[in-house]
Structure 1
Amino acid sequence: MSVIDLRSDTVTRPSPAMRRAIADAEVGDDVLDGDPTVRQLEQRVAELVGMEDALFFPSGTQANQTGVSLCAERGTELVIEANAHLVHYELAGVAMIAGVQIRPVVTPDGVLTAELAGGALRGTSPHLPRSGAIAVENTHNAAGGKVMRPEVMAAIAALARESGLRLHLDGARLWNAAAALTTAPATLTRGATTVMVSLSKGLGCPVGSCLAFARELRPRAWEMRKRLGGGMRQSGILAAAGLYALEHNLPRIAEDHANARRLADLLADSPTVRPSAPETNIVMLDLLREADTADRVIPRLAERGVLVVPFAARRLRAVTHLDVSRADVERAAGVIREVLR
């Protein structure tokens, strides 16, 4: 029995064609004097997200922390949605690395709006920390892959501009947001100072993210990456996977969204589990019976070849990706119904 791994879209394996691209990559020393394949990837990402330049990082967390450091002064506050990845899943890096305090904003659906963000900005006071920057997340992981629409982003960008603040976009799954809206990624980044995109979520790469920005920020971004240990030598072998993915895997992301909807539809009438209505490739599964807790249900699903992760005491998360087919999600739905009947 094959395992259906719905824990994350980071669990994908490089395809044979991606492995060939990796093996054939032209490389240099990216720390010493540059790697040509890395530079090609950076230029392509910058073009796709509508920015002047980009820098390749080994992880999205490192790219996010660099973005926050470029946007906010140490000792100031970062206004951000309360359940954002930067708040919960980067080990207090905003405080430890960037020296910035989180100013969390509670929202009903994971989408930070200009009105809510504006309400969190501090007035001038000798007793209160200054607002240093705003950060947004698109799509929003903890909100089940919720998409921030371009008009919402535009209003937040206008608020940042009027307030004299920089704006960081955590776009780990920006590719999914663009696919869901059938628009170019660049339409979702307008007004951002820094934009992080992941290559290992949704695109099927083994590792890597990019941070995009205005050209004059590249020296500071490079310095920060070096300080965090992110300088990589012959990293063209990793960048080649990213270039392959942008050409071959990016156009198919909508298939993952269709599979997520199929999973949710097949569970919609279950009396024991309530699926979220996915906008992208994440389905939250709420367990409705008191006895069905995540720590009890997950091992039973795993025994039957379906892997998911806990997201609360009675909430599971399932993520579709290029290694999960329509037949896989149909089988997974059947297993979930059987285990929870």
Structure 2
Amino acid sequence: MEEFIDLRSDTVTQPSQEMREAMYKAVVGDDIMGEDSTVRELEIMSADILGKEAALFVTSGTMGNQIAVMTLTNRGEEVIVGNTSHIYNLEVGALAALCQVQARPMEVPNGVYDIKKMEGLIQEKGIQNAKTSLICIENTNNLNAGYVVPLDNLNNVCNLAKRNNILVHLDGARVFNAQVASKTPVKEIVKNADTVMFALTKGLAAPFGAILAGNKDIIAKARWMKQRMGGGYRQAGFLAAPGIVALNTMLPQIEIDHKHALILGKGLAKINGLKVEISKIHTNIISGSIEDLPTTIDCFIGKLMQKGIKVKRISEVSFRMVTHYGVGESHLYEVIRAIEDIVDSL
């Protein structure tokens, strides 16, 4: 198999040997009946890490987000979302198709929510209005940037919601990246959100799953919603086992990923004609622009592929790179040299 340096996402990682062994040796039971002890261990462990009463193991971040919305809203209500958020852009229209709610998007420049603008979007129930019942926030913010949302900004959103009897769901797919970058305990980051989801498959490098957490009543209802969606598991402990390993072993890797992102970003920023804003690299995501280069994004990405490097196209002139467990420091310099060669040849 041809080897690539794959920077498209931190979801492309291979499970560690310890994860593979944990999968093989996992104690399993019928999860729908509450008898899979490995799943229970992961859920209890996750709730404790987040400072929440209970947690639910789900297939993916998308499933976790949509179950949260189904649990916290009623059909026909309105949900405020960031216009660059995953839940709004990359979940196949599930807010409308599955949750049957109306999305009200707002801009979140550089990962900061404008509280006054958000307040202006809140709608009371009226004869012609869809009542605002939920605010969905995201930390890290913007799937193509990975901005860390300031803690006071998160708390201001939650305070606004509380004043208006609105619930808050936090899409924390990369919330541990936010913890590492901000040096703020994850319990503090998620404290005021009614529900929070995090992915096991991104920086934590597990091969499967996500966690949704909240209070006991919310998670009990969420478990029922998961079953309605066909998400009930039988002997799922072998899927949960690598998640336990990830939470126990992979947090130090996230700090390495952030250091690697800065090395890569600083190296790319020195290449004439290539635009990379170092100040916008908060975590493990680097965005670059070729708008000043005499090439197209598809041609540029194609040339990288020929050199064994995969990146993600995010617009007509820009691309994304994400550092992760599968990318070593030597790979970073190889990527920088490859892009230097491509730019020099234009």
Secondary structure of 2:257 counterpart: helix
Letter in structure 1 aligned against 2:64: A
Letter of the 2:312 counterpart: V
Letter of the 2:17 partner, please give it. Answer: P
Match of 2:253 in 1: 252
Q: Are 1:172 and 1:197, in contact at CA under 8 Å, matched by a contact in 2? A: yes
**Change beyond 3 A, Cα 1:45–1:124:** same
* Alpha-carbon distance in structure 2 between the residues aligned to 1:295 and 1:287: 11
Structure 2 matches for 1:210-229, cutoff 5 A? Answer: 210-229=211-230
Whether 1:84 and 2:85 are equivalent positions in the alignment is: yes
In 2: Cα distance, 1:226 partner to 1:153 partner: 31
How far did residue 290 of structure 1 move? 5.6
Quote the offset at 1:309 in angstroms. Answer: 0.7
* Corresponding residue for residue 335 of structure 1: 338
Range moving further from structure 2, 239-248 or 226-235: 226-235
Deviation, structure 1 residue 340: 2.0
Look up the match of 1:299: 302
Shift of 1:16: 1.3
Distance 2:146 2:165 in 1: 30
Partners of 2:150 and 2:292 in 1: how far apart?
A: 34
Distance in 1, Cα, partners of 2:333 & 2:31:
44
Structure 1 equivalent of residue 189 of structure 2 = 188
Whichever residue aligns with residue 36 of structure 1, its letter is S
Work out whether residues 81 and 111 of structure 1, in 8 Å CA contact, stay in contact via their aligned partners in 2: no
Q: Displacement, 1:35?
A: 0.7
User: Which runs of 4 or more aligned residues in structure 1 lie more than 3 Å from their structure 2 counterparts after TM superposition?
Assistant: none
Residues of 1 paired with 2:171 and 2:296: CA distance? 31
Amino acid of the structure 1 residue aligned with 2:322: V
Query: For residue 166 of structure 2, what is the amino acid of its counterpart?
Result: L
Residue of structure 2 in register with 1:281 after alignment? 284
Offset at 1:104? 0.4
Q: What corresponds to 1:118 in structure 2?
A: 119
Normalised by the length of structure 2, the TM-score is: 0.95
For the residue of structure 2 that corresponds to 1:312, the secondary structure is coil
Q: CA deviation at 1:72?
A: 1.9
The 1-side partners of 2:85 and 2:103 are apart by 11
Deviation for aligned residue 1:111: 2.8
The corresponding residue for 1:103 is: 104
Matches within 5 A, 1:137-176: 137-176=138-177
Q: In structure 1, the residue corresponding to 2:68 is in which secondary structure?
A: helix
- What TM-score does the superposition give when structure 1 sets the normalisation length? 0.97
CA-CA distance at 1:28 after TM superposition: 0.7
282-291 or 126-135, which moves further after superposition? 282-291
Q: CA deviation at 1:182?
A: 1.5
**Residue in structure 1 matched with residue 133 of structure 2 by the alignment:** 132
Distance apart, 1:218 and its partner CA: 2.4
Counterpart in 2 of 1:241? 242
**In 2, Cα distance between the equivalents of 1:142 and 1:58?**
19
1:296-321 per-position Cα deviation (integer Å, ceiling 9, x unaligned): 11111011011001001111000000
Taking a change above 3 Å as real, the CA distance of residues 129 and 33 of structure 1, as seen in their structure-2 partners, is: closer
Contact map agreement 1:110 1:142 (CA 8 A) in 2:
no
Q: Could you tell me whether the CA contact under 8 Å between 2:111 and 2:148 is conserved in 1?
A: no
Q: State the distance in 2 between where 1:336 and 1:34 align.
A: 52
**CA contact 1:45–1:54 (8 Å) conserved in 2:** yes
Aligned equivalent of 2:50 = 49
Alpha-carbon distance, 1:143 to partner? 4.8
Equivalent residue number for residue 201 of structure 2:
200
Percent identity over the alignment is: 35
Contact 1:144–1:276, Cα closer than 8 Å, also in 2:
no
Structure 2 match to 1:320? 323
How far apart in 2 are the matches of 1:208 and 1:39?
14
The letter for the 1-side match of 2:16 is S
Does 2:38 correspond to 1:37? Answer: yes
2:109 is paired with a residue of what secondary structure?
coil
Distance 1:296 1:111 in 2: 34
Do the aligned residues in 2 keep the contact of 1:271 with 1:288 (CA within 8 Å)? Answer: no
Q: CA deviation at 1:140?
A: 1.5
Counterpart-to-counterpart distance in 2, 1:288 and 1:161: 43
8 Å contact kept, 1:169–1:195: yes
- Which string of whole-angstrom CA distances, capped at 9 and with x for unpartnered residues, describes residues 54-89 of structure 1? 000011101100011122221111011111111110
Q: What is the Cα deviation at residue 123 of structure 1?
A: 4.4
Specify the SS of the correspondent of 1:340: helix
Cα distance between partner residues in 1 of 2:98 and 2:133: 15
Report the number of matched residues. Answer: 341
**Structure 1 CA distance for aligned equivalents of residues 64 and 5 of structure 2:** 30
**5+ residue gaps in structure 1?**
none
Paired AA for residue 108 in structure 1: P
Counterparts of 1:310 and 1:170 in 2: how far apart (Å)? 23
CA contact (8 A) 1:48 1:186 kept: yes
